[in-house]
Amino acid sequence: MNTHRTPHDALDLMVSIVLYRPDIAKLKECLDSVYLCRLNWHLHLIDNSEQPLDEAFLKALDTRVTYTFGQGNVGFGAGHNLKISEHVHEARYWLVLNPDAYFGEGLLEELVKRMDADPAIGLCIPHIQNPDGSTQLVNKRLPTPEVFVARKLDWMLRIPVIKTILNHRLDMFVLKDMDLSRPLICPFISGCFMFFRGSMLAELKGYDERYFLYMEDLDISRRAAQRGLNVVFSDVPCFHHWERAAYKNRKLFRILVDSCIAYFRKWGWPLDFERMAMNRRVRYYEGPEVTGRRVTV
């Protein structure tokens, strides 16, 4: 099922949102944020749910929104890839957005302006905050296996010896050694708001579909960082209703573990020299005149 399909003429921005049994109030809040954008944009809603959205809700969608349903629960990355594979060359920029994120007027225009000014940036994200304005520690260095396990099995940190060994590594992982109020360059960008240069996303060929859910943002962030800069613009906010669903649901936790194993099989377990090099290159973003390195796509 596809509704509200319109031609894409010289788009500034394509947006894709994958749904699975969405919270309608949060989804509406998210869509209203995009509707504020004054750029030439189009939005794809890819619904992996068992039942389509309410007909009245669909009829109320902006005419620049395409709704896709019927492919089944193909997973997060594969859902986005359905549209990336078809439309990635139709817009200068592509935003992968979670349905529980929202932001104010002018944010998308500002990100386009900043990426236009620095061709070295292939992927960026605004400052992700909780609805109360506190910072979410969602942008990170690349994880080592022990850091990943300790974060996911946090009961381990109640063991004094393990806590002593891993606390510093965990702090470094979530960039606690950096001033998060300043723009940063880091290899791991949160999947809740991934603002790609269109040519970068085309070069990446979208998400790696070996991950049904979880770790796909880490994987594509890392591949983007191989080709250009991943920048966190800490002075422009976006709000996210973050829930650690994998910690509350045994099935989701199993999916998380499977994705973790798939990631480390792909990139390497303890001996991952590229990870070490990328993590050492975490630094503050000083602007195009200082970085000077251009994206290779």
Q: Is residue 81 part of a domain?
A: yes
- Which of 155 and 182 is assigned the larger pLDDT? 182
Q: Please check the confidence at residue 9 and state whether its pLDDT lies above 80.
A: no
Q: Is residue 160 part of a domain?
A: no
Torsion of CA 292, 119, 235, 17, to 10 degrees: -150
pLDDT at residue 201, as a whole number? 98
Distances (CA, A) of 46 to 1, 16, 127, 212: 10, 7, 25, 15
Could you write out the three-class secondary structure of the chain?
CEECCCCCCCEEEEEEEEECCCCHHHHHHHHHHHHCCCCCEEEEEEECCCCCCCHHHHHCCCCCEEEEECCCCCCHHHHHHHHHHHHHHHEEEEEEECCCEECCCCHHHHHHHHHHHCCCEEEEEEEEECCCCCECCCCECCCCHHHHHHHHCHHHHHCHHHHHHHHHHHHHHCCCCCCCCCCEECCECCCCEEEEEHHHHHHHCCCCCCCCCCCHHHHHHHHHHHHCEEEEEEEEEEEECCCCHHHCCHHHHHHHHHHHHHHHHHHCCCCCHHHHHHHHCCEECCCHHHHCCCCCC
pLDDT digits (tens, 9 = 90+) for 78-100: 999 999 999 999 999 999 999 99
Q: Please check the confidence at residue 6 and state whether its pLDDT lies above 60.
A: no
Total structural domains in the chain? 1
Q: Is residue 190 part of a domain?
A: yes
Backbone angles phi, psi at 235, to 5 degrees: -100, 0
Q: What six digits make up the tokens of 154? A: 């946090």
Q: Is residue 112 part of a domain?
A: yes
Q: Is residue 154 part of a domain?
A: no
Q: Please check the confidence at residue 291 and state whether its pLDDT lies above 80.
A: no
pLDDT at residue 4, as a whole number? 40
Residue 229's beta-bridge partner residues? 121
Q: Please check the confidence at residue 2 and state whether its pLDDT lies above 60.
A: no
Q: Is residue 13 part of a domain?
A: yes
pLDDT confidence band for 71 (50 / 70 / 90): very high
Q: Is residue 153 part of a domain?
A: no
Sequence-separated (6 or more) residues with CB below 8 Å from residue 154 = none
Q: Please check the confidence at residue 62 and state whether its pLDDT lies above 60.
A: yes
Q: Which residues span the domain enclosing 114?
A: 2-140+175-291
pLDDT digits (tens, 9 = 90+) for 35-52: 999 999 999 999 999 999
Q: Where residue 103 sits, what CATH number does that domain have?
A: 3.90.550.10
Closest by alpha carbon to 223, among 278, 286, 290?
278
What does the mean pLDDT of the chain come to?
Answer: 92
Mean pLDDT within 124-129: 98
Q: Is residue 80 part of a domain?
A: yes
pLDDT digits (tens, 9 = 90+) for 201-225: 999 999 999 999 999 999 999 999 9
Give the C-alpha separation, 116 to 86, whole Å: 24
